[in-house]
Each structure stands twice: as C-alpha cells, then as structure tokens.
Structure 1
Amino acid sequence: MEEEETVGKLMEAVGEIAAISDYRNVYKKLFCNLSRRIKLLAPMLEEISDSREPIPEEEAKTLLKLKEALVAAKDFLRFCSDGSKIFLVLEMEKIMKSFQDITVQLEQALSEISFEKLDISDEVREQVELVHAQFKRAKDRIDMPDTELYSDLSTVYNESTDDNTDPVILQRLAEKLQLTTVSDLIQESFTLHEMAAASSSADPGENTEKMLRLLEKIKDFMQIQNPQMGDPAISNVPPSDEKPKTPVIPEDFRCPISLELMKDPVIVATGQTYERGYIEKWLDAGHDTCPKTQQKLPNTSLTPNYVLRSLIAQWCESNGIEPPKRPSRPSKPSACSSRDRSKIDALIQKLSSPNLDDQRSAAGELRLLAKRNTDNRVCIAEAGAIPLLVNLLDTLEPRTQEHAVTALLNLSICEENKGRIIAAGAVPGIVHVLKKGCMEARENAAATLFSLSVIDENKVTIGCSGAIPALVSLLSEGSQRGKKDAATALFNLCIYQGNKGKAVRAGVVPTLMRLLTEPAGGMVDEALAILAILSSHPEGKVAIGAAEAVPVLVEVIGSGSPRNRENAAAVLVHLCGSEQQHQYLAEAQERGVIGPLQDLAQNGTDRGKRKAVQLLERINRFMEQQKHVQAQIESPTQANSQAEQPRL
C-alpha cells in the first residue's frame, strides 16, 4: 500500500539521518540538535508501522508532508556533513536560511499529526510532543554560528594579494576549521570543488579559485608552523561490507536521547532513565528540563539505575553480545596535557603564596581550568589544590572567596573529587560562604553542597553542618538563581529522612508556601517537589497543615502542570493520612477537589493517577463515615420523638 511505503520511507530517512555523525564545523551544535530531534521520532514511526489499523486518508497526507520534510533534512545534513568547511562558512546566510526553512517545515508537519487517529501510545506521544515543542522554539530562536570565524574567512577570501594575510588570523582559521593535517587539507580541497560547483553564485568558477587560494594560504602557513607535516597515514585494513547480525535492542534498554544501548543508565528527578554521558551533556548545556517529558527538573542529581544495568547485562549475555562497559573516568594525572599540568603546578605554587593578589589570581585561573574538562579536574585535585582552596573559604577578601568556592564546585563535578573535598574538611567553609559570602559566592556554595550531597553518606555530613538553615535563608532572600540553587540542594538533602526535620525546624515550609503562591517567581515546581518530600515526615505534615496548604494544593491539582498536579496530590495524600485527616479531607472536598482528582486519575502521570485514586478512595470512605455518623445522630432523635407521642 502507498501508506505503508510512505512510513517505510520515513523510517529510512530517520535511519539515514541517524547514521550521519560527523559535523565538525561551525554549525555543529545546530546540526546535532536537528539530528537528535529527528532521531527521537523513530519510536512513533515504528508504532505506526507495527499497527494493523489502516492509516486514515487525512493522516496519510500529513505523513507525506513529514516525509518531504525529513528527506529535505536528510539531504541538507548530508550535504553539510560531507562538504567543504570553508564553503559552508562563506555561504553562512544560505545555510542558515535552509536550516530555518527545514525547521519550519518539520514543525508544521508535526503540528498536523493526530496521535489519536494514528493510535500512538501516551509515552511515544509525550516524546513527539517534546520534539515538536523544540522545533517550535527553534524556528523562532536560531543560535548564530561563530561570527568571528566568518569575519576572518571573509577577510582572507577578499584579499587581493598573498602578502597581506595576518598569521594570527590564519592560525585561528586552521584551528577552528580543523585544517591542521595533510589529510584534513586534501579532504577539504576535494569537497570544496564539489560544493562550490553546486553553488548558485553568478560565477562559481571564480569563487572556487578564490577559496582554493584561501586554502593554499592555510596549508602554507601550517607547513611553516610544522615543517615535519607529512603525508596522511593510509590504513592497510581492507574495508568490509559485511555487518554482523545483532538482535533488536529492547526499547527500555535504549537511551531516549541517543537511541543506543545504555552503558551507564542513570535516573533523573522525573524518574526517566538516560545514558549518563548524554544526559550530562544535556545538563551541561544549561537545560533544566527532562528531555523526554519536558518537565522542569527539581534537581540535577543522577542516580545509577543498577536494576536496569543488570537487566541489560543479562540480555547481552543471553544474546551472545559482550555487555557494554561503563565509560572509565580518568584518574591519572597523565590524562592532562603536559602544558596544562605545568600551568596547574605553577598555580598551586601561587595558591600557597602569602601574597593575597597571587592567591586571588591563582584561585580564579583554577576555577576556569576546572570548568573546562574532566582531565583538568583530576589533575588539579591530584596536584594538591583542594586543601589550599578550602583554606581560602574563610578569607575576608570576597573575590578570592568566590573563586575558591566556585573552583571547588567545578572540581566536585568529578565523582572522585567529591570524597577528596569532604576529606579536606570543606563543608564548614562552604557553609560559612553560604552564610556570609557575596550573592554569587552563596549561590555557588549552595550548588557545591548539592553536588557533594549526590553521595548518600555526604547528605548526613552536610545535614549536621548547619547548612540547611543557611540554605533556607538563601531560598527566602536570594536572587532567582540563588533560590534555584538552594532549592536543588534542599531537595537532595531532604531525600535523607534525618534532614527533613532539620529543614522543617529551619522554617522551610512557610518559605515554600510563599514561593508556591507566587507563580511569577518561577519557583512553583521546586517548591512543590520539596513539599512532596517533606510531607512524608511527621513534622512536615504538621507544618504544611499549619500553613493552610489545602486550598493551594487543590488549586494546583486543578490547573497545574502534570508534574505539579502529581506532587500536589502526593502532599495531600500524606496530609490526609495524618491525625487531622478528617479536617483536611473535609476542606479538600469543600474546595471542589473531586472533579480535578477524577481528571487526574484519568489523564495524569502514572504516579499522579495513583495518588488521585488514593485520595478519591479516602474521600469516599470519609463521606460514607459522615453519612453513618449522621444516621446515628438522627436515629436516637427519631426514637425519642416517637417515645414522646401520647399513647392511645
């Protein structure tokens, strides 16, 4: 059938896009985002293909539009992946226009899909809706590529002679375009001819000549810089067209981002599981939402999914596949370049200096080096920087203090360094900065405590340090970012039962209720997530009840986001399991909670549905009890009334 052929073409296009992996150019971020979003459409296409129901005519037309958009995206990505880096940068306006057109085309095609008519499951629907929302945002906000690179290339491209070129510019071009070896230069020359020939410019021959002269300048410059630069190495391993047959990987074993078998599965705060490396890249890019559900993450903690890892290993063994190995984390100083290692050693010396200026500048540079990559974090820690940075946390010089705590924050991203920082006695100093530092230092101190508290035993240490009252203060009076950092740290610390009472006694509940009733403040998600944790603690229930939370919770259950409705229902479930449950049940019923709960039981998240059903059952029992009590009250009254009647 024609519809089946269309679906087959759609799946083929997604597969071909997934196979394109080399975007080593100025548009890398844009192209990788486009490719990743398209790959996330694969589960929907598989469900359509597996369905035995015929595709309605209207939906078949929509799928044709999607096919046209995907084919255009495939051709565009392949063109940009295989082609000349110089050409792509010089044709920036056309490339960006094509990118924008394809983004709009994909967004429009996805907007017309009817999930009900195509019988798409809720889980896959959520994923496609996420992709659609991302395309919708992308068509209105395009991140511009490296304008400095475009300016440098244009300058050299338009020079009339070879003598005027600034070697600094040529150095930048060679590095940014990754044209530093003979292999790179030969490949660029080959692809440049192909792409320039495809240009719609008035005189492609002249353009090709000018670009080749530009490439020649880069090649001559690189040979001057590296006279030993030889011919490219040629592999003597013959290519093989044969691919070993492998069983189909179960969907639950694939990372929702990469769609590949997970090696190190971790759980985020929404309960979704991802491959650690991919979700870390997502979070490092500044995102604060779950990629699959698009719900805001109350914290960025990653919990190893040991059960799933074991199931994946068992599946691999039963299918004769070598189980995936977790990516090893660098632990030796040799992972760091010799140049960076020498620089780090020099900075450690300055950090030990009695001169305050030396200390400040060294802490600032270490802060930046630790932010750059994992290798540097390992090298800095093993060079002995952590105890020296901890000593600077008590300094009276604000800038030095800020550099020190932020350097520790960046170092703590490496799991091996978390233990080193705790062992160096850093927690009291971090809490001191949290209480007394400038706002940016306080924010980074809160973020550091969260990072350290990812390890369970550290939750106890931090909870006993006086950190929780200081975090509550920051949650109340901090900047927007400070409140976010404080909320994230408090959420993670309160996972440990012993810290819940400390948070309640520090006055966190009134602060959370204030944030919950200020939607414009942007803290509703975080406030509800923390309340949901605290509501399981006896002191938490009392405090939440005393804060007159029921009306607010009922309102959120009726009109909040899916995750907020779920958390509000969870809080109400705990309240209605306390000694004052009748009071809360009666108040919730009076506020009209039954209708929203029935809707949540039908349309909420899985956890939200369970909580809604629990509450409805409790309300029904409460109403039955009330009827029974009322009947008992009325029954003696009726008996007395009859006894008082005169006898005949």
Structure 2
Amino acid sequence: METLKQENIIESPRTEVFTPDSPQDTDADNAASSSPSLILRLVALVNEIPSNTEHRKIFRAECGNLIRRIRLLAPLFEEMKEFKGKLPDQAFLSLAAFEKALRDACELLHSCFSESKIFLVVERERVLDRFLSVTAELEHALENVPLNVLEISDEVHEQVDLVHAQLKRAKGRVDMQDQHLYNDIDGILFQENGKGVNSAALINLAERLSLRTLPEINRERIALDCIIASNGGIRNSRIDQMIQVLALFKELAQSNSVSVYIENENVKTENTEAPSIPDDFRCPISLELMRDPVIVATGQTYERACIQKWLDAGNKTCPKTQQVLTHLLLTPNFVLKSLIAQWCETNGIELPKQRSSSERDIIEVLLQKLSLGQPDVQRDAAGELRMLAKKNTENRICIAEAGAIPHLVGLLSSEDLGTQEHAVTALLNLSIYDGNKGAIIASKAIPSIIEVLKNGSMEARENAAATLFSLSVIDQNKVAIGASGAIPALVKLLCNGTLRGKKDAATALFNLCIYQGNKPRAVRANVIPPLMEILQEPSSEMVDESLAILSILATHPEGRTAISQASAIPLLIDLIQTGSPRNKENAAAVLLALCTNGPLHLMRLKSLGAYGPLCELERTGTPRARRKAALLLESIRMEDFDGPKLNERRY
C-alpha cells in the first residue's frame, strides 16, 4: 500500500443538506428579522440527524456518538422556539456559527451513510480527521451559545452542559475500530487480479462490510461511480483496485455456494447412528422431520410444503382428523420449530434449510388473516405479529414495509380485549425501531392507543403507556401525544395501575414533560398528588420515577405552584437525608426550583433545619446534587445576611 499512499486522495462529493431559508450571510444588522428563521433552521437540522446506527458497519462508533450528542440537544432548540424577545446580535452570531457546525456534522454523517464502504475504510484516516474537526467545531460553537439570554430551563441547561463536556473530551481522540477492516482490504488490494486471495478471508470481509448480495454490491458500485464522477471521471489505480475488490465480492455473490471459494477444505463426516426422531417432530403426511411446521385451522401441525401440496390438490379437509377446514391459511408453529432446532443442535443434526419459505412470506399470510374479518383469526394473527416484532429488528422493518401498521391500528378498536392487547403490543414492539415511529404516527394511531390506555385490559393499558413512551422519544411526537389527551389517561394509570403499569405511566409522563408545553397539562391532570403519595410510602419502588417527574415539573410556574401547595418541602428535606444518591439529587433540584422563584420557601427551608443536610449533600452528593446544594446554601447565607436575594438570580 506504500505506493497507493503516495497518490492524491480523492475527495468525496459533498452533498447539500436541505434546510429552509439558508442565509447567505450572518450580518448582525439582520439578526432581529432572521432570528426565528435561524432557530427553525437549527431545529430542522437536528431533526435531519438519523436516529440510530444499527445497520452501520463502518465508523459505527463515531457515527453513533456524534448522532447521540446532537440529538441530546433537541430539547434546547425546542425551548429556543419559545423565546419571544429580540435576539441580541452576539447571540445571533453564536447561533449562526452553531448552524454551520451542524451542517458540517450532517454532511459528514451523510457521507458515512451513503459513500462507498470500501472507499471509507481505505480513506479511514481522512474520515477520522473529519470527525475530529466536526467534534471540535461543535464544541467551540456550543460553548458560545448564550443559554441565559435564551431563557433556557435549568434541566435543559444541565443537559447542554453534559453534551458540551462530552464533546470537549471527545475532540482530542478517535476510535480505531475499523483497523482490522483496513488491514484485510489492504491485503486483498495487494493481490493481482484476485490471485492468491484467501477465499475464506474474502467471505468474512464481505460479511463484515454487508456486501454479500448483488443489490448491496450494485449500490456499492454506484457509490464508487459517484466518487469517480466527483473526480472529473478520472480513475486512478486506487479506485481501480477498489473496483477489483468489488468484482471479487460480486463473483462470490453469484456463486451457488460459498463453499467453492474455500481452498483445500476437506469435509469429514462421521458414520454414527442417527438418533430417533420424536413423533411430534415428524410431519403426519411425510413422516419426515419438519423444517417449517405450520398449523392448519383444526390445530394440527404439518410440514408447510406437504400440507400446501395437499391443499393445492383441491382438498379442504385436515389430513389427520378429516375435519373440514374453516379456512386454508397456514400459521407458523414457532414453538415447535424452536424445539426441533434445539433437538437438532443437541443431537448434532443439521436442520434442513427452508427452500421457499421466508419471514416475509409468513408476514404476508398473517396480513391476509388480519383482513379476513374473523375475530379469532385476527386475534391469532395479531399475536403472531406481536411475537415476530419482538424477535429482531429485521422483522420489525419487514412487518412495517408489508403494510401491517394500519391493520394493527384498526384492531385497537376491536371489541375483543385479547385482539386489542395483541395489536397494541405489536405496535409497541414495532416502535422499538425508530424508522417505524413515523409510520405509526402517520397511521393516526395515537387516539386509538389512548383509548386502549383508558379502557383496555390492564396488560393492554400498560403496553399502551409503553408505546406512548417509545413514540415520544422523537421530540416532535411529544407535542402531538400531549395535545391528544394522553396525559390524563397516563395519570389515571399512575394512580390505579399495577406496579408495572405505574412505572410505564411514570416513564411516559417524564418523557412527555420534557416538552415545556406538556408540563402544565400534567399539572392540570393532577399528577402531583399521586407523585406525593408515592414519596410518602417508605416501601415504594417508584421514588426515583416520582422525584424525576417532580424535578422536571418544577421548572414550570404551574408545576412549582402545585408542588408548593402539596406541602412537599418537609418530605424533600427528609429525602435529602435518607434517599439514594439519585433521590437526593432530584430532591435538591426541586427545592432549588421552589426557592429560586419563591423567597418564602427559602425561609421555610431554613426553619425546617435543612442547612445541615444540605451541607452534607454538598460534601458527599453526586456532582449535580453538590451544585444544587451549594446554590441553596449560598442563598440561605445571603438571606441571613441581608434578606432574600435568591429570586434576583437565575440558575
């Protein structure tokens, strides 16, 4: 590779990231008129950041860290949208610099997601330098954002400080997780026309790069062609060698069996007596070990190919029982299939591979069942989809792409509680994949999920609450869910649900209340009394959740008023002394919010003997707890010196 390193590095094409109303300059004279537009552009840029890197094979750690840090800033820009005053010139210029940093981050991520994988690995040092540069740019820009001027809440301020600290630590180091990929490609590039290439290594490399199938390889070739085009159509030896590697992958993919590429592989078989196959594992038609067991309408299980052949011949009865089949749909028997697989593994038997069945075929059959209109069939199909969606990400993607989400949303209104429960849980499992969240929202699922939350079985209500939490991870969904009336129903579950239900409700409420507009909705739904009841129970398993919600509600005026009316201060002081480190931290945060905005609370805090516990917390608490305790102690001392001053400062 020494000769290759001496050649000019081909610069990757830069892709424009769409943002509305992009300014051509950031003249401070235009700050007043451009401020709302600038803030909206920042929100749009953050929303363009992909939500996960689950399918990334290259620079996964770097992309994941950058995405996570930027998305943690989403609440900052949501609160900035509520800023009504005139943005000072310096603040405008700082935000404009931050916009440029976000654009550079978007372009880098787009490159990592769309460029040639082979090119990215070979040019890894250049790409890593871009990650370092973008990280440093974001860190510098974030340092200059005037959070106090923008009236950002304490909770979001702390989150921004956390992100800033992470960026500061990260800007001087890089991860080298793709070094082995580079070394393997390096070795293959040295081989002339693919001669002498270790075939097993080639197979392994194709797997790790996700270049195993012809569609994947075709997309890779298009990406390489884009790089050539960006270089004026010129192909140098570096690109030629990359294309040669891709040709080897294509040859591999076109082969009927990867085994032909493994050199000098001697396969040895041992002549051992085959174990007896359990009768339950044999197909009643062929008497052979089943590889794809399916259930017919009578409840009997057969090998899919055998029973399908029987049905294709015009038969309408169950071969074993001779009963007339009420329908001809075949339901996969996943439990039996799993047992057969375990038995085969225990006995050293290779389970025959399925020839024509796939998860997509199974999903298509289940969708047909959902559309039949027979309640028992729909319930079973929704249950199967629920289990498939729980299994893995690939299934979640496949189920959504097959069009199952609107069917499942329709079943949320079913009068059958079991069907309702399966449907809402299936949607919960599908929503784990971020790419499905938008499709669920677009299917107008929120009102139906809320209806299940109000009137479904207890398990359905619990899973409805969990679904709302999962969907609200996307910031814009917090607004829609809160405006749809979910919060009163969640408060009701918090009051009378099972422990699991209460936890699901509390988690959803906390996430929704990150959005400022949902805080008064929660207060007006009377969330404070049940939270206080939980704190008063010594054996409660939900103190952490309750204090976390109180700490975020305390950043809103209505929340502080309601907490004050609940006479929370004595209980909070007690928790500072006896609670867990996280409990103490949140209790101090609530007290600080109350006392910052109400001098009488500060006097009551002092009269109840909080000075000693706060001193201990300042000495032994978590970093956040120590900061809160220090501010409270400073305010108590100032009050002793010349009267209440806490409300004159912003923390």
What TM-score, normalized to structure 2?
0.47
